[in-house]
Chains A and B, each alone.
Chain A
Amino acid sequence: MDILQVKNLSKKFRVKNKKDFIAVDSISFSLKEGEILGFLGPNGAGKTTTIQMLLGVLTPTKGEVSYFGKNLKDYREEILEQVNFSSTYTNLPWRLTIRENLIYLSYLYNVKDRQKRLKKLVDIFHLDNLINMQISQLSAGQLTRVNLAKAFLNFPKVLLLDEPTASLDPDVAEYIRKFLINEQRQFKTSIVFTSHNMAEVEEVCDRVIFINKGKIVADDTPEKLAKTIEICHVELIIKDGLKRTIEYCQNHGYQYKLSGRNIIVDVKEKEIAEFLRGLMDKGVYYDGISIEKPTLEDYFLQNL
């Protein structure tokens, strides 16, 4: 079942004395119940503009956003009670403490059993020692955790998470990723997820949409998108014949990166055997080899 449906959504901004700027150009996609959808693209691609329209804080020029089969424009209140978000481009009131922020927001969402919910979120996001601190006193990582706690306040059915693990220590980021996957499995929460960390997207997302210059350029699973890239990274630790290896790469048009005696060569998967045989023929000896298959990052770098 589609929880979120976006149809021909466009946003055009007027620019004084210039041609109108089309930030989002007639995009359509859907989000299934319990699905985590990566929404990716380079800076200025239209991600933030789209998310703002999905939250109803930016009026689309054209198109329609529907949640649970209902139009956001006509059922705004009912829908937004079941949606939440976390973003790096908004702040919580900096004079208020974490507790005060969560309390006032819990009234906005009419959260039942308020104290119990707050305690649970404080435990999940390890905010116990910070709860009475003002937002202005928090570090970037602590703020990210508060924003996530805020995002889960109303037991959302749909979550829009913009860079949810930005500024977090690796162990905390890993904990958050596991928590998101658990929420998805346990409560069938549907999540739209943006991140610049492609490894994270591959770990968390069921499906990925790439957006560029306001248009959707790809919509598939991370694995299938990565598979469209033929190039693998072959890393060799050269024992003897580094110069010959470089010459071989140059003569055959292989891209490479050199670091001491380590060389990483970009080779098409089906040409790896031929490449290694070619090096052997040139009398190159290597101590170690690792072959890295194409990733979502490779897709991103090659296509966007």
Chain B
Amino acid sequence: MKINRIYAIVIKIMYSFTHSYDRIADAFYWPTMDLLLWGLTSTYFKTTAAGNSKIIMVIVSGILLWIIVWRGQFEITVNLLEDLWDRNLINIFATPLKFSEWITAFIIVGLIKAALSLLFAIGMAYLLYQTNLFVLGFNLIPFIFLLILTGWWAGFFIAGVILRFGSKVQTFAWGMIYLISPFSAIYYPVATLPAWAQKISLIVPTSYVFEGAREMIGKGILDYRKLLISLALNIFYLILALIFLRKSFDKVLDKGLVKVF
């Protein structure tokens, strides 16, 4: 891998970001709206549910941590889509750029933008609800790491689907990740789900992270077993997603990059 080529793709995406109001809105507007809607709803719940003083923290931390998954996935797929919309795939793959360098650039941009969105949202949460995610301390690191992994494999999988079918399935870039959100137990415990949904949440790595974060907030306990299950599931899905993405790219090369849009 060559740093200059990864850097080239990173600056291309960042140039595009600075010229694009919709990308800026994606990074800051939607997290703010989520925080306002769910934060205010949980403020109301707090007044009605006696004795549950941590409900705001639970809901707001759920929103903040979900931003990591969403941005990780979103950046990979939307940046791919931008190259499809621009019909720019030939321009970049007729250069010495390697597939792995392209993907690495997407990951780096995803990390940068996730950090930007997350820090912005953490600041907003503190201002609006005096809720501070950093009370989780260093325990936040494994949670964030696992959620980033989920964002990556989801992004790679959706990117593979988009490469195969083109921008006619572009809606997956915005919506597909939400397929796992009901089973991720972002705002509620897995135990409150119906039995069939609980079975699905067993194979969803984010459910273990959000359960773990809730336990940390509520009881101050970090369940390493949950984190390990999440890690194993994430690695398994990441490998599958990367294989799928590579095969999708090879299939596209067989059709010709000029025919993908």
Q: Give the distance in Å from the alpha carbon of A56 to the alpha carbon of B12 in the complex.
A: 22
Asked if residues B94 and A93 are in contact (CB atoms below 8 Å), the reply is no
Which one of B9, B16, B89 contacts A95 once the chains associate, using CB atoms below 8 Å? B16
Contacts A57-B256, A58-B256 given; does A96 touch B16 at CB 8 Å: yes
Cα distance A58–B20 when bound, in Å? 31
Q: Which A residues are in CB contact (< 8 Å) with B5? A: 107-108, 110
Task: Annotate B231-261 by CB proximity to A: 1 below 8 A, 0 otherwise.
Answer: 0000000000000000000100111111000
- Per-residue B-contact encoding for A68-99, CB less than 8 Å = 1, 0 else: 00000000111011011101011111111100
Per-residue interface assignment for chain A, residues 40 to 55, with 1 indicating a CB less than 8 Å from any chain B CB and 0 otherwise: 0000000011001001
**A80 and B96 contact, CB distance less than 8 A:** yes
Per-residue CB contact flags for chain B residues 83-94 toward chain A (1 = under 8 Å, else 0) read 100111111111
**Does chain B have a CB within 8 A of A5?**
no
A167 to chain B: which residues have CB within 8 Å?
Answer: none
Given A57-B253, A58-B256: A104 and B90 interface contact (C-beta under 8 Å): no
Inter-subunit contact A105/B87 (CB<8 Å): no
A222 and B7 alpha carbons, distance in the complex (Å) = 44
Mostly, the B contact residues are helix
Q: Using Cβ atoms and an 8 Å threshold, which residues of chain A touch B217?
A: none
Instruction: Determine whether A183 belongs to the interface, using a CB cutoff of 8 Å to chain B.
Output: no
Asked if residues A90 and B4 are in contact (CB atoms below 8 Å), the reply is: no
A134 beta carbon closer than 8 Å to chain B: yes
Given A96-B12, A107-B4 in contact, is the A52-B95 Cβ separation under 8 Å? no
Q: Does A59 contact B (CB under 8 A)?
A: yes
| A64 contacts partner chain B, Cβ-Cβ < 8 Å | no
Which residues does chain B contribute within 8 Å of A59, judged by CB atoms?
250, 253-254
Interface size on A, residues (CB 8 A): 38
Given contacts A49-B256, A59-B253, A89-B258, contact A96 B93 (CB under 8 A): no
Q: Which residues of B contact A163 (CB under 8 A)?
A: none
Q: Are A90 and B90 in contact (CB under 8 A)?
A: yes
Which residues of chain B from 78 to 117 have a CB within 8 Å of any chain A CB?
Answer: 82-83, 86-98
| Complex: A55 Cα to B86 Cα, angstroms | 19
A134 touches B88 (CB 8 A): no
A104-B11, A107-B8 as given contacts; A96 in contact with B19, CB under 8 Å: yes
Residues of B within 8 A of A78 (CB): 96
Residue of A48, A57, A89, A93 touching B93 (CB-CB under 8 A): A57
Let me know if B134 is at the binding interface, CB within 8 A: no
> A91-B86, A93-B16 known; A80 and B253 CB under 8 Å?
no
Contacts of A108 in B (CB 8 A): 4-5, 8-9, 92, 95-97
B95 & A105 in contact (Cβ 8 Å cutoff): yes
- Which of the residues B2, B96, B98, B258 comes within 8 Å of A57, measured between beta carbons? B258
CA distance in complex: A52, B91 (Å): 11
Please measure, in the bound complex, the distance between the C-alpha atom of A254 and the C-alpha atom of B255, giving whole angstroms: 47
Tell me whether A109 is interfacial, beta carbon within 8 Å: yes
Q: Mark B1-42, 1 if CB is under 8 A from A, else 0.
A: 010110111011001100110000000000000000000000
**Is the beta-carbon distance between A55 and B90 smaller than 8 angstroms?**
yes
Any B CB within 8 A of the CB of A103: yes
- Cα–Cα distance between A94 and B86 once the two chains are bound (Å): 7
Instruction: Report the nearest A residue to B86, measured CB to CB.
Output: A93
Residues in A whose Cβ lies below 8 Å from that of B7:
107
CB of A100 closer than 8 Å to a CB of B: yes
Best-surrounded residue of B7, B11, B96, B97 (most CB of chain A within 10 A): B96
CB-defined contacts of A97 to chain B, threshold 8 Å: 15
Other than A90-B91, A92-B88, A109-B96, give 6 A-B pairs with Cβ distance below 8 A.
A57-B257, A58-B258, A59-B254, A78-B96, A87-B90, A92-B91
9 interchain residue pairs of minimum CB distance? A107-B8, A58-B256, A104-B12, A77-B96, A55-B94, A108-B8, A108-B95, A57-B257, A95-B19
Q: Would you give 19 A-B contacts (Cβ < 8 Å), ordered by A?
A: A52-B90, A52-B258, A55-B90, A77-B98, A80-B96, A89-B87, A91-B86, A92-B88, A93-B86, A93-B88, A95-B16, A95-B19, A96-B12, A97-B15, A108-B4, A108-B8, A108-B96, A108-B97, A109-B95
Chain A interface (Cβ < 8 Å from any Cβ of B): 13, 48-49, 52, 55-59, 76-78, 80-81, 83-85, 87, 89-97, 100, 103-110, 134, 150
